[in-house]
């Protein structure tokens, strides 16, 4: 019995030390005191002698660095180098790009929620608010998406001029160069308002302010390049594009065959040192109207004119459109959207070395430059585009579901329609929370490379799901294109955001966890860097420091996962309030994720990056933990409105369910079955299961969407909802309010019909009959008929003659080039 008590006491001490992530010194002192106390209390028994021997054999070598390095760390280092994944130059440069933000806390298994909630929320300056209320509103009022996408297949010359004259191409350019110098959050808000009205306009503005010459020049350009190009870009005198993708190199940009060779050549009548370029690019947004082209290519120096290296690597240069040899191809037509997009080619083009962005010193640094810019930009443009559609759709679908009637009741009150309505609301909340959190991180000075990949992937994927749900709710209204259709083009264009700036299938399978585990894990990067050191002593010392901490980290996560599973995370310190349980469960799953990540790396080693089904699911767990964190912070920053609770709870439950499902999928497909069984016991010791959000909460969410509630307004905040006659959103809102106000009158008419005091087939006939029998007043009759008229206007669809269906002639490309360069 005494032995059992001591075993329990030992396990208790072990568990407390591991749970609290105690240092090696604390472990050593604590177990020495434990053994001294046991010896003092019971005497030196045989079992205690064995315990003392085990203590001396284990802890003395661990605390003597020379012994530890020789007998433990050296062997681990040798093994580590054998299983360490081989990485290409582009992979190493991609991993080194950007900074680690909240996703790093999630990887550590013990997120600091106070730190999260104290992070400065996204906010607009007065100048940014004025721009949104002024030029952005004015631009939205000018946009007729049907005219843009069907008749012109482009923005009108007037819109192009307005964009240029009001500085929309210079949102990120500093004021000293004539730009707006807006924050990432303001940039996102501007794109949301415009993109909700016109994808073409949103894309046309996004590209010059995203991954393009302006951002590359800001961070890496020479002073001469900045002083020349940035003012011209800010004024719209130059229209930029950036050419990265080629027919043979899409997601695998490192395999591009576009190349330049350092050589002597003639330029402006002089023989100078420059680059002879050959390239073939496609899918380049704004290429047909661009006046300056940012180009990525591989640079070679076979004659060693710049130095000893022959293969210098990917390089970025700025090339004026009128450079001899540049060929702008015919336009692409991406899924019926009208933004300018097309191929660019060049054969034997000679350019000066000074045209390299940053000058000759930046030759071969292009991939690093691009990855650094993507680390921030990936979280802005495309997520904003998806959020724009989600906000408009949540606002419109809720109204339409209340206005549209079938079987004598609004379709939004059918449970089958409530399901997609609830998803639309919750997904919109998640998307908005994620992009807001990410842009706030960028504005605080971060370049969140992993977080931006998470946001880009999941926000655009949720946007695609919302588009499908919205189409299901609208039915025939959604599939008939025309000026009255406000969701059709968004539905068509959803895959565009999925495809660009790193295809989502690549982002999920290779970037989120593949890059995240190295950048965000507290010790992996240090171990990798140590293992690559040439100096054996320095490598062993650095590796020893990292691997000892890593082992303790793994033991701690093992204990924490088991303890938090057994206690269902009730012991976790978390912010008080209605969301406390979600914080606690997120901490539990964060610890389990850290444990499972380490186990997978130990089992698979360097082959883990090829186990894409496993690594992508690990990335999903990290992603949903990030999305859940963003939702909790968004709710906190918005003042924890009680009215929003159903939506927030739905969003949190959705994230927790998806996390659980990914754990299940990994463990079911884990090759080592006994280890999978052990992990399942540790992570889910009580067999606790999270379910999808219940129907009851989905019903509450749907009801918030089919009425003019404050929650619905907050979900759509930032979209173009201005009540002007040309805005279809204002027509929907007007019809929604009139429909709700007329519902009591409709009940009076139905009662009168049942009692025989009203007759007729149509609603108008029945209302007139009810008025004649004095079942309703003239005021009620007029109110009811106004609601009927508003409803008919909303549910109407367009029809055309054959001649009207033929789109207008696309204007010559050079005309738009002239417009934007004058």
Q: Tokens 């704004």 map to which residue?
A: 286
The first and second tokens of residue 393, run together, are 């759709």
Rounded to an integer, what distance in angstroms lies between the CA atom of residue 377 and that of residue 180?
17
Which one is catalytic: 103, 238, 461, 501?
501
Rounded to an integer, what distance in angstroms lies between the CA atom of residue 200 and that of residue 285?
11
The three-class DSSP label of residue 147 is helix
Query: What are the residues whose beta carbons fall under 8 Å from the beta carbon of 745, sequence distance 6 or more?
Result: 776, 780, 783, 784
Query: What are the residues whose beta carbons fall under 8 Å from the beta carbon of 255, sequence distance 6 or more?
Result: 248, 249
In this structure, what DSSP letter does residue 173 have?
A: S
Residue 274 to residues 281, 306, 317, 359, 581, Cα–Cα distance (Å): 21, 10, 12, 11, 63
Query: What are the residues whose beta carbons fall under 8 Å from the beta carbon of 678, sequence distance 6 or more?
Result: none
The first and second tokens of residue 295, run together, are 């180009």
Rounded to an integer, what distance in angstroms lies between the CA atom of residue 606 and that of residue 128?
47
**687 in Cβ contact with 465 (< 8 Å):** no
Tell me phi and psi for residue 265, to 5 degrees.
-160, 170
**335 in Cβ contact with 495 (< 8 Å):** yes
Q: Tokens 């025939």 map to which residue?
A: 476
Q: Tokens 């046991």 map to which residue?
A: 38
Strand runs labelled E in 269-404: 270-285, 292-300, 311-320, 326-328, 341-352
The first and second tokens of residue 411, run together, are 């379709």
Give first-to-last CA distance, the chain, whole Å: 92
Strands 341-352, 405-406: pairing is unpaired
Please state, as a whole number, how many other Cβ atoms lie within 10 Å of the Cβ of residue 168: 24
Any bridge partners for residue 296, and if so which? 316
Please state, as a whole number, how many other Cβ atoms lie within 10 Å of the Cβ of residue 52: 16
In this structure, what DSSP letter does residue 70 have?
A: I
- 310 in catalytic set: no
In this structure, what DSSP letter does residue 822 have?
A: -
Query: What are the residues whose beta carbons fall under 8 Å from the beta carbon of 372, sequence distance 6 or more?
Result: 97, 98, 219, 447
3-state percent breakdown (helix, strand, coil) of the chain, nearest 5: 65, 10, 25
Query: What are the residues whose beta carbons fall under 8 Å from the beta carbon of 357, sequence distance 6 or more?
Result: 213, 216, 217, 220, 221, 225, 294, 316, 317, 318, 366, 369
Tally: H helices and E strands in the chain: 37, 9
Residue 136 to residues 240, 342, 629, 732, Cα–Cα distance (Å): 21, 27, 31, 21
The first and second tokens of residue 19, run together, are 């749970």
Handedness of CA 522, 523, 528, 530 (dihedral sign): positive
Q: Which of 323, 237, 178 is nearest to 822 (CA)?
A: 237
The first and second tokens of residue 735, run together, are 């019809």
**790 in Cβ contact with 740 (< 8 Å):** no
Rounded to an integer, what distance in angstroms lies between the CA atom of residue 60 and that of residue 428?
56
The first and second tokens of residue 106, run together, are 């999630």
Q: Tokens 């209605």 map to which residue?
A: 578
What amino acid positions are annotated as catalytic residues?
A: 501
């Amino acid at each position: 019995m005494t032995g059992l008590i001591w075993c329990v006491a030992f396990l208790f001490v072990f568990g407390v030390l591991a749970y609290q992530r105690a240092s090696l010194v604390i472990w050593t002192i604590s177990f020495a005191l434990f053994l001294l106390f046991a010896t003092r209390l019971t005497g030196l028994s045989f079992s205690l002698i064995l315990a003392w021997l085990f203590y001396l054999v284990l802890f003395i070598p661990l605390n003597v660095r020379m012994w530890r390095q020789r007998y433990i760390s050296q062997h681990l280092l040798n093994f580590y180098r054998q299983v360490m994944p081989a990485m290409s130059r582009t992979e190493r440069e991609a991993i080194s790009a950007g900074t680690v933000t909240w996703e790093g806390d999630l990887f550590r298994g013990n997120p600091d929620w106070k730190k999260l909630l104290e992070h400065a929320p996204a906010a607009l300056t007065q100048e940014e608010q004025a721009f949104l209320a002024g030029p952005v509103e004015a631009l939205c009022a000018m946009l007729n998406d049907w005219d843009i996408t069907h008749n012109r297949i482009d923005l009108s010359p007037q819109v192009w001029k307005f964009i240029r004259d009001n500085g929309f191409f210079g949102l990120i350019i500093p004021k000293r160069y004539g730009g707006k110098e807006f924050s990432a959050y303001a940039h996102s808000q501007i794109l949301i308002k415009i993109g909700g009205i016109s994808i073409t306009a949103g894309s046309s503005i996004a590209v010059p302010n995203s991954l393009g010459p302006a951002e590359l020049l800001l961070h890496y350009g020479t002073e001469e390049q900045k002083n020349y190009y940035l003012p011209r870009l800010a004024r719209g005198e130059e229209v930029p594009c950036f050419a990265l993708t080629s027919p043979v190199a899409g997601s695998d940009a490192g395999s591009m065959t576009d190349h330049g060779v350092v050589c002597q050549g003639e330029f402006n009548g002089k023989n100078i040192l420059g680059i002879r370029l050959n390239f073939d690019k496609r899918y380049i947004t704004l290429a047909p109207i661009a006046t300056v082209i940012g180009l990525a290519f591989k640079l070679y120096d076979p004659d060693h004119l710049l130095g000893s290296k022959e293969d210098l690597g990917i390089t970025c240069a700025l090339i004026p459109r009128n450079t001899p040899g540049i060929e702008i191809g015919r336009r692409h037509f991406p899924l019926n959207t009208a933004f300018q997009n097309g191929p660019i080619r060049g054969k034997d083009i000679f350019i000066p070395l000074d045209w390299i962005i940053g000058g000759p010193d930046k030759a071969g640094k292009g991939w690093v430059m691009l990855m650094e810019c993507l680390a921030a930009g990936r979280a802005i443009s495309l997520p904003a585009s998806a959020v724009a559609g989600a906000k408009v759709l949540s606002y419109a679908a809720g109204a339409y579901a209340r206005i549209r009637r079938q079987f004598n009741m609004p379709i939004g009150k059918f449970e089958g329609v409530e399901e997609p309505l609830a998803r639309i609301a919750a997904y919109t909340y998640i998307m908005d929370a994620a992009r807001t959190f990410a842009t706030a991180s960028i504005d605080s000075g971060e370049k969140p490379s992993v977080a931006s990949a998470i946001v880009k992937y999941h926000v655009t994927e949720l946007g695609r799901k919302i588009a499908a749900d919205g189409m299901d709710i609208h039915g025939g209204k959604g599939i008939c294109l025309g000026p009255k259709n406000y969701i059709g083009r968004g539905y068509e264009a959803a895959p565009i955001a999925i495809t660009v700036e790193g295809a989502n299938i690549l982002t999920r399978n290779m970037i989120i966890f593949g890059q995240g585990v190295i950048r965000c894990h507290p010790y992996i990067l240090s171990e990798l860097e140590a293992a690559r050191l040439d100096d054996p002593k320095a490598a062993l010392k650095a590796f020893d420091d990292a691997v000892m901490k890593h082992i303790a980290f793994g033991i701690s996560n093992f204990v924490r996962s088991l303890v938090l599973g057994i206690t269902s995370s009730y012991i976790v310190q978390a912010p008080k309030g209605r969301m406390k349980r979600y914080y606690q469960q997120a901490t539990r799953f964060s610890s389990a994720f850290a444990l499972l990540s380490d186990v997978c790396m130990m089992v698979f080693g360097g082959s883990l990056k090829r186990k894409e089904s496993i690594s992508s699911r690990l990335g999903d767990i990290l992603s949903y933990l990030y999305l859940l964190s963003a939702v909790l912070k968004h709710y906190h920053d918005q003042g924890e409105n009680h009215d929003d609770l159903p939506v927030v709870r739905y969003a949190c439950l959705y994230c927790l369910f998806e996390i659980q499902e990914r754990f299940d999928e990994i463990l079911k497909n884990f090759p080592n079955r006994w280890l999978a069984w052990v992990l399942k016991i540790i992570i889910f010791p009580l067999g606790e299961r999270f379910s999808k959000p219940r129907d009851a909460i989905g019903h509450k969410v749907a009801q918030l969407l089919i009425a003019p509630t404050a929650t619905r307004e907050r979900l759509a905040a930032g979209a173009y909802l201005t009540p002007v006659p040309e805005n279809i959103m204002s027509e929907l809102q007007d019809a929604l309010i009139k429909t709700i106000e007329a519902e009591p009158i409709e009940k009076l008419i139905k009662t009168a019909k049942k009692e025989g005091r009203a007759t007729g087939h149509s609603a108008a006939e029945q209302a007139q009959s009810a008025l004649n029998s004095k079942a309703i007043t003239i005021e009620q009759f007029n109110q009811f008929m106004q609601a009927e008229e508003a409803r008919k206007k909303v549910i109407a669809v367009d029809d055309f003659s054959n001649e009207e269906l033929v789109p207008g002639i696309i204007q010559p490309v050079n005309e738009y080039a002239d417009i934007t360069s004058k």
